[in-house]
Structure 1
Amino acid sequence: MFIIPIQNKPDWSRPPLITLALIVINLLVFVFYQGLDEGKRAQAIDTYRQLALSAVERPHYNRYLQRENPEAYERWTAIREAAPEPLSIGPLVVQDIEFDAYLREVWREQEPENLEAWQRKRHQFETERNKISVLQAGLIPAEPEPLDFITSLFLHGGWGHLLGNMAFLFLFGFILETALRPSVYVAMYLASGLAADGLFLLLNLNSITPVVGASGAISGLMGMYLALYGFRRIRFFYSVLFYFGEFTAPALWVLPAWLAKEFYGYFFVESNTAYWAHIGGLLAGVAMVLALPASRKQFAQREEESQQEDALNQHLREVQRLVANLDVEQARRRADYLCKHHPTDPRPWETLFDLHKSQPSRKPFHQAAFSALRAFCQHGDTDPHWISMIKELLGEYRSLSPKAPALTGDLCLLLSRRFWNLGERSYAEAYLRLAQARGAKRQPLIAMVRRVHRHYQQSTDIARARHWHSALEALTEPATSDSEPV
């Protein structure tokens, strides 16, 4: 059984840099650290041969195989008997660390004579062999080292193991990285790995088989993903034997299926897979996200915004289709609908203006310009694309209609204030002058002129300060003379 979410697509406008960095680190460790294992293994075999341990340990290895793995013993016996001369067990011993524990049992019953020399040689060999990456940095439950809980997360058993894990790391990581703060994301990734290794260790205290791989931490990401979506319905892809397809379900409903898959693997599948590590990672990931209600709320809000964005994009494509089919009136009605339902996005307003600018002498053209400019004054700080769109719109509007009736005095004053707040000083001053020329309301106009004058006065721009001081005097002079006693 195979179930993965297909709800999201990578957003390369916000690349998942931390996830990509984790993938690169895993690749580098595998290529440049684990890639040296073949030489280390050859060196260990050579050390075993030089120390002449094969002759001493061969009978013990035969008994060990006969007891622990009869099938392997039969294969080894057939190979040994067919060989023209005694075979070295070095290549087998190097990759079978359980034989170490068997020898410790033998030594307890061994006569002291020659035992010390054997143990010394054996220690020398094991020191050389333990330089192999999975023994040096993997987690061995029977002999756990604190650092191994972290280093084991970046080791893998082969290219298939590595590439499979990296695919899932990217699949879940690029969503979680945008949903969580970078430090929280990294901490929860490592914490999931620690929880996975911890649960596996507790249930396999006597195991001396090294545990390696990022799958425990990645299982944590899978659990985090489900917990973030909670009971919202999302799309999944499934594959069971030769059947595959898609289904939609509340995210957390898939958690029991994933857990059941791991339990089934543990009880019924012969494999080296650390199923309990996967289970520990999954449960830890779910628990950590459920303990962060603020993160879940922010993620839900972003998902809603993303869905609205997708819906708007689809509607805008529909408008373009209507235009292509020469159904301009229907396109205008659709664009007007989008402006009302997505007032903070500049694109519907730009589209509505573009649909009317072919008829600059008609009233709807000026109404479209006025509405777009008013929306900018109200929502211009919600999207960085507002400024460039409005600048272009103003240029086209004043070019197509030099009298620009939509630019009333009060609207010019609002434009001036919005441009000023966004740091567009030249536009703000230009429309402030136009607001004064077109008779904007007096008190708001005075307040804006006084604000601009104060700014240039404090910035020691003498020329502009004088200009706006004169404008301020011209505006306040009538009010002052009216208030003087007769």
Structure 2
Amino acid sequence: MLLIPLDKPVDWKSPPLVTVFLIVLNALIFLVAQAHDEKRMAEATKYYAQSSLPRIEVPLYLRYLENNGQQPQASEVARSLEHDSKLAPQLLFAMDIDAPFMRQLRQGGLFQPDFSERALWQAERTHLDGLLGRVVWYSYGLKPAYPAFVTMFSHMFLHADFGHLFGNMLILGLIGYVVEAALGSRRYLVFYLLAGLASGGLDVMIHPDSGITDIGASGAIAGVMGMYAVLFGLRKIRFFYWLVFYFDYIRAPAIIMLPVWLANEFYQMFLAGPSRVNNLAHVGGLCAGAAIAMVVKRTQGSVDVSYLDESEKEAAFQRRYEEGIKRVAALDMPQAARIFGELHAEKPGDRGLLVQRYNIAKLSPASELFHALSQQILNLTDKDAECIKLQNATYKEYFRIAQPSIRWTPHTLLALARRFASAGFLDDAEKLVNVLGKSPNASLAPALLALGTAYAREKQSEKSRQYLSLLIDRHPQSSEAELAHHILNNAG
């Protein structure tokens, strides 16, 4: 079963730096540091098969199993070896993960007093250990029977194969950025590592005699999932679930996912049959992450959950917007104006809402609201072509229908003349420049330069020279006049 929250896309304006860093770091370690692991492990197993070690160690292992109440297992191994003696080298890993056996073997407690090949065994075992030591995942993975400070951290950055890496990083990418937004990058990184340590620590406590090498970020990532469930509590989240051949989306409180995730791990651990997945590490991570989040919420309080709330706010905003459109269609303009006015107050930078309000207000061209909204559109400073087209259309419409008279300032007209010229609305720009040019105004220089250069681009040299010369004549000391001289000189 797969159950993943998919409620909010990444806000790349405030990128989740730690989540991205963790994904990149895990990928680099796998692709670079672990690049030769498979080859090196093959070299180690080949050496073991060609050495005297199987001949010496396998009988010791069989006797060890018999002496420790594992007679059925010993008999099964012996029968397998009778049918195929080449299976002996494969017992390397079965022996290696049996920590009590390996301790006794290395301490010499399994050898008979008259064993004459001790020096040979010691030399070949030392060489084998050196070969295995070159395998990154083997050396830096966590073996519960041999915990070390370094491997408690390093194991959570190692992966067995590309599928293992991809699956872990996909889940981290889908969940981590939301938790990072809620906690802040520094706390998120610290808690991620703590969850990974708790995951490995639980494995060490439960399996103190296991020599199995645990690797992977899944314990730490399970911790992030536990944090997610507790941090967002009763907030309803959109989840994607996949159950056998069926998948769909549901909305449910985030906290419900914690017992669901735990139940799935326990099912996989006890009922789903043998698996290479360390579900106990997942359980440890989930519980650690949930505990960390509970402590943070009760003691620190500074958890930003607004990131997910934005989804619900946006949905409510969209519903109100659609209601406003319906009011317009029903010709209920007062209600439409109220709705769009409220929405615009929430998002004053939303140009679409400004246009909606203007379109309603222009039905009353003598109203103060119509004049005010017209000015807002004409004073926009966005540089995209659609904005300038909107301003040009509004300028013409306002000039035509405004009552009882037009209310625009020289400052607004100068800005429009410059923007219209740059965008190719040359006739309108020229009209504004000619109106404003009837009285001396130092700030007219940028508009004259924009109009002159625009005509030059359009290959209308006579018009270009007319306005650039006017600029030089009216504002000879301005920086725009220097540029006008340069353009005219280059034009010949």
Partner Cα distance (1:320, 1:69) in 2:
79
In the TM superposition, 1:47-126 aligns within 5 A as 47-48=47-48, 51-61=51-61, 74=76, 77-78=79-80, 80-81=81-82, 87=86, 89-93=88-92, 96-98=95-97, 101-102=100-101, 104-105=103-104, 107-109=108-110, 110-111=112-113, 113-114=115-116, 115-126=118-129
2:24 is equivalent to residue 21 of structure 1: no
Counterpart in the other structure of 1:213: 216
Per the TM alignment, residue 57 of structure 1 is displaced from its structure 2 partner at its CA by 2.9
Per the TM alignment, residue 173 of structure 1 is displaced from its structure 2 partner at its CA by 1.2
Amino acid at match of 1:287: A
Per the TM alignment, residue 199 of structure 1 is displaced from its structure 2 partner at its CA by 1.6
Amino acid at match of 2:340: L
Pick one of 274, 282, 303 that aligns with 2:278: 274
Amino acid at match of 1:303: L
Instruction: Give the TM-score normalised by the residue count of structure 1.
Output: 0.68
In the TM superposition, 1:236-251 aligns within 5 A as 236-242=239-245, 244-251=247-254
Is the contact between residue 198 and residue 284 of structure 2 (CA under 8 Å) also seen in structure 1?
yes
Counterpart in the other structure of 1:36: 36
Counterpart in the other structure of 2:138: 135
Partner Cα distance (1:3, 1:295) in 2:
29
Find the residue that maps to 2:237 and give its secondary structure. strand
2:343 is equivalent to residue 338 of structure 1: no
Summarize the Cα distance change of 1:71–1:19 in structure 2 as closer, same or farther, 3 Å threshold: same
Per the TM alignment, residue 143 of structure 1 is displaced from its structure 2 partner at its CA by 0.9
Is the contact between residue 332 and residue 355 of structure 1 (CA under 8 Å) also seen in structure 2?
no
In the TM superposition, 1:377-388 aligns within 5 A as 388=382
Partner Cα distance (2:99, 2:284) in 1:
29
Listed one character per residue, the Cα deviations across residues 18-43 of structure 1 (whole Å, up to 9, x for unaligned) are: 32332222222223333312221232
Summarize the Cα distance change of 1:104–1:111 in structure 2 as closer, same or farther, 3 Å threshold: farther
Listed one character per residue, the Cα deviations across residues 461-483 of structure 1 (whole Å, up to 9, x for unaligned) are: xx9xxxxxxxxxxxxxxxxxxxx
Counterpart in the other structure of 2:160: 157
Amino acid at match of 1:123: T
Counterpart in the other structure of 1:455: none
Partner Cα distance (1:298, 1:372) in 2:
42
Pick one of 270, 295, 298 that aligns with 1:291: 295
Pick one of 362, 365, 375 that aligns with 2:365: 362
Summarize the Cα distance change of 1:222–1:300 in structure 2 as closer, same or farther, 3 Å threshold: same
Partner Cα distance (2:276, 2:143) in 1:
14
Counterpart in the other structure of 1:437: none
Is the contact between residue 16 and residue 177 of structure 2 (CA under 8 Å) also seen in structure 1?
yes
Partner Cα distance (2:104, 2:342) in 1:
81
Instruction: Give the TM-score normalised by the residue count of structure 2.
Output: 0.67
2:313 is equivalent to residue 308 of structure 1: yes
Per the TM alignment, residue 97 of structure 1 is displaced from its structure 2 partner at its CA by 1.3
Partner Cα distance (2:353, 2:102) in 1:
80
Pick one of 185, 197, 202 that aligns with 1:182: 185
Find the residue that maps to 1:291 and give its secondary structure. helix
Amino acid at match of 2:372: F
Listed one character per residue, the Cα deviations across residues 381-424 of structure 1 (whole Å, up to 9, x for unaligned) are: xxxx98649x968877666446876669xxx9xxxxxxxxxxxx
Listed one character per residue, the Cα deviations across residues 73-128 of structure 1 (whole Å, up to 9, x for unaligned) are: 747745x5556xx5373354257513675354353142254324322321221221
Structure 1 residue runs without a partner (length 5+): 377-384, 413-462, 464-486
Find the residue that maps to 1:35 and give its secondary structure. coil
Amino acid at match of 1:228: L
Counterpart in the other structure of 2:464: none
Per the TM alignment, residue 280 of structure 1 is displaced from its structure 2 partner at its CA by 1.8
Per the TM alignment, residue 271 of structure 1 is displaced from its structure 2 partner at its CA by 2.4
Find the residue that maps to 1:248 and give its secondary structure. strand
Is the contact between residue 228 and residue 296 of structure 1 (CA under 8 Å) also seen in structure 2?
no
Partner Cα distance (2:249, 2:145) in 1:
43
Partner Cα distance (2:140, 2:101) in 1:
23
Partner Cα distance (1:374, 1:401) in 2:
12
Per the TM alignment, residue 136 of structure 1 is displaced from its structure 2 partner at its CA by 0.7
Is the contact between residue 95 and residue 102 of structure 2 (CA under 8 Å) also seen in structure 1?
no
Per the TM alignment, residue 313 of structure 1 is displaced from its structure 2 partner at its CA by 4.2
Is the contact between residue 237 and residue 254 of structure 2 (CA under 8 Å) also seen in structure 1?
yes
The root-mean-square deviation of aligned C-alpha atoms, in Å, is 4.1
Amino acid at match of 1:271: S
Structure 1 residues 309-318 or 274-283, which shifts more? 309-318
Partner Cα distance (1:388, 1:314) in 2:
27
Summarize the Cα distance change of 1:191–1:163 in structure 2 as closer, same or farther, 3 Å threshold: same
Structure 2 residue runs without a partner (length 5+): 413-476, 478-492
Partner Cα distance (2:43, 2:18) in 1:
37
Partner Cα distance (2:225, 2:374) in 1:
44
Number of aligned positions between the proteins:
398
Counterpart in the other structure of 2:423: none
Is the contact between residue 233 and residue 251 of structure 1 (CA under 8 Å) also seen in structure 2?
yes
Per the TM alignment, residue 184 of structure 1 is displaced from its structure 2 partner at its CA by 1.7
Amino acid at match of 1:142: A
Is the contact between residue 236 and residue 247 of structure 1 (CA under 8 Å) also seen in structure 2?
yes
Q: Percent identity, aligned pairs only?
A: 31
Summarize the Cα distance change of 1:245–1:367 in structure 2 as closer, same or farther, 3 Å threshold: same
Amino acid at match of 1:234: I
Per the TM alignment, residue 68 of structure 1 is displaced from its structure 2 partner at its CA by 5.7
Pick one of 202, 207, 225 that aligns with 2:205: 202
Amino acid at match of 2:180: E
Partner Cα distance (1:265, 1:25) in 2:
29
Summarize the Cα distance change of 1:123–1:299 in structure 2 as closer, same or farther, 3 Å threshold: same
Listed one character per residue, the Cα deviations across residues 209-240 of structure 1 (whole Å, up to 9, x for unaligned) are: 11111111111111111122111222334444
